[in-house]
Amino acid sequence: METTMRKPRDYDAELKALEDKAKELKARKVQQLGELVIATGADAFTPEELAGALIVIAETKDTARREAWSKRGSAFFHSRSRRSAPSADRDSGSTTDRDTGSAQTHPGGAQPAPGSAGAA
C-alpha cells in the first residue's frame, strides 16, 4: 500500500507562459492596429491629428453615431475581403467606388474632432 504523490504544478512556469502569451497578443494587437491605420488611409494624418480624432471617437457617447461608424467599418472590412476574392468580383467597380468614397469622408469625419476638442 504505497502511496504515490502527484508531481506538484510549476505555477511559476505556468505564469511565465501566460505572461509570454499576453505579450505576444499585445504585440499582435499593436501590429493589427497599425495595419488598420494604413489600410484606411489614416496614415496620411499626422500623429497629432490621428490621436485627436481617436480621442474624440473614444469620448463619443452618441450611440447612433457609434452604430453608424460600426456599420461603415463593417462595410469597409466586407469590401476588403471582396477585393481579395477572384477578379470576377473585382470587375463590378462598386468596391473601388465605395473605398474611394469612404476614404474621402474619413478626413471630413476627423476634421470636427479638433474643433470639438478645442470647444470643450
Banded model confidence at residue 80, pLDDT cuts 50, 70, 90: confident
1-5, 25-29, 44-48, 100-104: which range is least confident on average?
100-104
- pLDDT tens column, 25-77: 999 999 999 999 999 999 999 999 999 999 999 999 999 999 999 999 999 99
Q: In this model, does residue 96 exceed pLDDT 90?
A: no
State the pTM of this model. 0.56
- pLDDT tens column, 106-119: 444 444 434 444 44
C-beta atoms surrounding 52 within 10 Å: 19
pLDDT at 89: 43
pLDDT at 84: 60
pLDDT at 114: 40
Instruction: Give the three cell numbers for residue 67.
Output: 452604430
Residues 102-117 as b/e (b if ≥16 CB within 10 A, e otherwise) read beeebeebbeebeeee
**What DSSP letter does each residue of 52-77 carry, written as one string?**
HHHHHHHH---HHHHHHHHHHHHHHH
CA separation for the pair 90, 110 (Å, rounded): 29
